[in-house]
Chain A
Amino acid sequence: MVDGSKDYHQVTEDICRPVEATPSRLWWIGFLISVALLIFGIVSVTMEVMYGTGQWNLNKTIGWGWDITNFVWWVGIGHAGTLISAILLLFRQGWRTGVNRAAEAMTIFAVMCAGQFPIWHMGRVWNAFFVLPYPNTRGPLWVNFNSPLLWDVFAISTYFTVSLLFWYSGLLPDLATLRDRAKQKWRKHFYGVAAFGWTGSTKHWQRHEALSLVLAGLSTPLVLSVHTIVSFDFATSIVPGWHTTIFPPYFVAGAIFSGFAMVQTLLVVTRKVLGLEEYITLEHIEVMNKVIVLTGSIVGIAYLTELFMAWYSAVSYEEFAFFQNRLNLNSPYGWSYWLMMGCNVLSPQIFWFRKMRRNLFVTFFMSILVNIGMWFERFVIIVTSVYRDYLPSSWSTYYSPTIWEVGFYMGTFGLFFTCYFLFSKFFPVIALAEIKHILKKNGRSFKDHMDELEGESTDEFSGRHGHDHGA
């Protein structure tokens, strides 16, 4: 899906232009705001490390508050990139080409942000390496491989590594393009180092294709496993509200939902600012809005299933968690449950209408709403399940975060957007080689001249196109 009439060189020009131009004033403003947020985050984390987790308003029984809410939220966002680039590659969805590179970058940055929370939540962060199974002087005492929290360590770190490799191996040919076009010395050197000496040899492309396909095949179960394992952190416990077998699919659907919303937020702005409307087209936006309404509805069914099971289980603690702590609007956190319902289930239904799916303002506004709603989903799951537990005398006072908890969260926004601004300035935000690969099949101007191909006999056509992948 590429609009306008383009040849290969025009594609190169269009996508390299934002990288080769000097940054705009808008870019600098956005970048500096991000860096300021990042600095706020660094200060907040420093306070927490210096004075301990007491700097946060966590209490007995709310041991996981904003911190783990933010962790799950960011990890969820980090699912869309791999989903778009891996699963849609296997499903041969040609449209993914326009958005996969930016979405993968977003994935990596989101996972980086997510990783911060469990690490700094440890308190004595200098002992963070205790989570790794290394031969130590305490026995060696090994980590508990039966614990979902340890599974998380492996899941998140593997996911980050594999996403990074997948993203960077895909970038190599495009960095080589930038290298060969570079006029300034520093660019030639920088992209020369970054492109690893890529040449575009046919044998290398053959291996590159094989590598991409296998990495996509590996990433597909991986991306599903990551949020499944995150949901195990909750689901394997016996806390009412967490003790649910539908958590894995429910979390994965929610992750795709929030991830696509974040992709929309970023791309609606990116395509406008970088002038890439002919590559990230309204078609792309519409397809992603369809994914949002689908996954939003799946999440909605999961919410209803939870309510049904709370009643059907006839366990009074489960019923209390769901009907008193959540559904009851007059309970202390009832507002957050209804906010979640409104943002995640009700409002995305607007995307049943084609006009709304193709409206940029609605898309942007909705993507923000979904991001807010998905944050509250995790907040509801975590806080409303633990603030009133079995023993009423330990029922917690109203939990609200301190400035350093908020600052830490804002800081990850700073980290995320600092990375994204740098990425959009120094790397091609659209997969150049992949766009060229599909150009003659999916480009608008080429599609209009398909008559000759359509006139061919099946044998002729399949003889030449039998090996096409993903386009």
Chain B
Amino acid sequence: MAVKKFVVGNFDDEAVLFPAVKKVRRAGYKIHDVFTPFPIHGLDKAMGLRDTSLHTAGFIYGISGTATAVGFITWALTVDWQINFGGKPFFSLPAWIPVTFELTVLFASVGMVLTFCYLCQLAPFVKKDHFNTRSTDDTFVMALECTDKTNEAEALGFLETVGAKEVKVEYRETEWWIGRYDKEKKLFHKEN
């Protein structure tokens, strides 16, 4: 458990959020995260996040599916137990294309989804604190991480000037834990 202190700004329009992210970064504040109800293209770039490598992982999974299919079928039908199917050669690669293709797609998809869940720490019974429950509805929530040097009043004021509708200082849990959403545990709310 890692409870941290944040200056949180809630925005109601992505057209305001975009320039705000740029201004906040230019002013030197550290953005912990921006929670949005839907994907906003270019926001990751604006926040300075690097591109995801999920594609590369998918490619590797796909290739391993291809290799598994070709390798296994070749071994099973030409080495382990040769069977004469209608006089065709034991090594009949063209007939293996369908299964090879399907296994490529299967490995790539399953691998990518599992990797995605692992990277984002998503699983059943995982619980996380995402600052504002309206952030899955219509609110864009920007959280600035506070350090010892952060002047909270100044940060709050700055967020308001860049267009945030509602600003406050909050203590939030940043890690995931095993929990149920119907049971509110206050243990991560450290009062000052």
A interface residues, Cβ below 8 angstroms from B? 7-9, 12, 133, 139-142, 144-148, 150-151, 154-155, 158, 161-162, 165-166, 169, 172-173, 176-177, 179-182, 185-186, 188-189, 191-194, 196-211, 214-215, 218-219, 221-222, 225, 229, 232, 432-434, 436-437, 464, 467-469
Please name all residues of chain B whose beta carbon is closer than 8 Å to the beta carbon of A198 when the two chains form the complex. Answer: 122, 136
Chain B residues packing against A (C-beta within 8 Å): 33-44, 47, 49, 51-52, 54-55, 58, 62, 72-73, 76-77, 80-81, 83, 85, 88, 92, 95-96, 98-99, 101-103, 105-106, 108-110, 112-113, 116-117, 119-128, 130, 133-138, 176, 180-182
In the complex, A8→B134 CA distance in Å? 11
Closest B residue to A151 by beta carbon equals: B98
Contact yes or no, B120 A204, CB < 8 A = yes
Complex contact A192–B182 (CB within 8 A): yes
Cross-chain contact B55 with A210 (CB below 8 angstroms): yes
A145 close to B99 (CB less than 8 A): yes
Q: Which of B95, B124, B133 contacts A193 (CB 8 A)?
A: B124
Nearest B-chain residue to A150, judged by Cβ: B99
* B176–chain A nearest beta-carbon distance, Å: 6
CB of B91 to closest CB in A, whole Å: 11
Instruction: Give the distance to chain B from A224, nearest Cβ to Cβ, in Å.
Output: 10
Question: A-B pairs with the 10 shortest C-beta distances?
Answer: A192-B181, A197-B126, A8-B138, A188-B182, A199-B130, A180-B133, A196-B122, A151-B98, A433-B38, A189-B182
10 additional A-B residue pairs with CB within 8 Å, beyond A155-B98, A203-B52, A205-B40: A169-B116, A182-B181, A193-B125, A207-B54, A210-B55, A211-B54, A215-B112, A221-B101, A225-B98, A464-B42
Quote the shortest CB–CB distance from A117 to chain B (angstroms).
19
Whether B101 lies near A200 (C-beta < 8 A) is no
Chain A interface mostly: helix
- The answer to whether A202 and B33 touch across the interface, beta carbons within 8 angstroms, is yes
Task: Name the contact of B37 in the complex, choosing from A191, A208, A433 (C-beta under 8 A).
Answer: A433
A186 proximity list for chain B (CB < 8 A) = 182
Contact between A225 and B101, CB atoms less than 8 A apart:
yes
Query: Are B73 and A145 touching (Cβ within 8 A)?
Result: yes
Question: How many Å from the CB of A423 to the closest CB on chain B?
Answer: 19
Residues of the B chain whose Cβ atoms lie less than 8 Å from the Cβ of A201: 33-35, 120, 130
Q: Report how many A-B pairs have Cβ atoms within 8 Å.
A: 208
Bound together, the chains give a CA A206 to CA B42 distance in angstroms of: 9
Known contacts A8-B37, A200-B37, A202-B36: does B112 contact A467 (CB below 8 Å)?
no
List residues of chain A with CB within 8 A of the CB of B102.
151, 154-155, 158, 222, 225
Bound CA span A192–B122, Å: 11
* Chain B: CB-nearest residue to A9: B138
**A154-B99, A169-B116, A188-B181 given as contacts; is B37 within 8 A of A196 (CB)?**
no
Report the separation of the CA atoms of residues A218 and B77 in the bound assembly, to the nearest whole angstrom: 28
Residue of B nearest to A196 (CB): B122
Alpha-carbon distance between A145 and B78 when the two chains are bound, in angstroms: 12
Please give me the residue from chain A that is nearest to B21 by CB atom: A202
Q: Is the CB of A12 within 8 A of B106?
A: no
Q: Are B137 and A181 in contact (CB under 8 A)?
A: yes
Closest to A471 in B: B41
Q: Could you tell me if A12 and B99 are in contact, using CB atoms closer than 8 angstroms?
A: no
Residues of A near B42 (CB, < 8 A) are 464, 467
Task: Judge whether A208 and B39 touch: CB under 8 Å.
Answer: yes
Q: Is B120 touching A207 in the complex (CB atoms < 8 A)? A: yes
Bound-state Cα–Cα, A12 to B139, Å: 12
Q: In the bound complex, how far is the Cα of B101 from the Cα of A149, in angstroms?
A: 15
Check if A202 sits within 8 Å of B38, measured CB to CB. Answer: no
Contacts of A432 in B (CB 8 A): 38
Q: Of B47, B98, B123, which is within 8 A of A196 by CB?
A: B123
22 A-B pairs with C-beta separation under 8 A:
A139-B81, A146-B92, A151-B102, A158-B102, A158-B103, A158-B106, A162-B105, A166-B109, A173-B37, A197-B126, A198-B122, A199-B128, A200-B36, A200-B135, A201-B120, A206-B39, A207-B119, A211-B116, A214-B54, A214-B108, A225-B98, A468-B41
Cβ contact within 8 Å between B98 and A179: no
- Residues of B contacting A215 with CB < 8 Å? 109, 112-113
B138 neighbours in A (Cβ, 8 Å): 7-9, 12, 436
- Shortest Cβ distance from A162 into B: residue: B109
CA distance A155 to B106 in the complex (A): 10
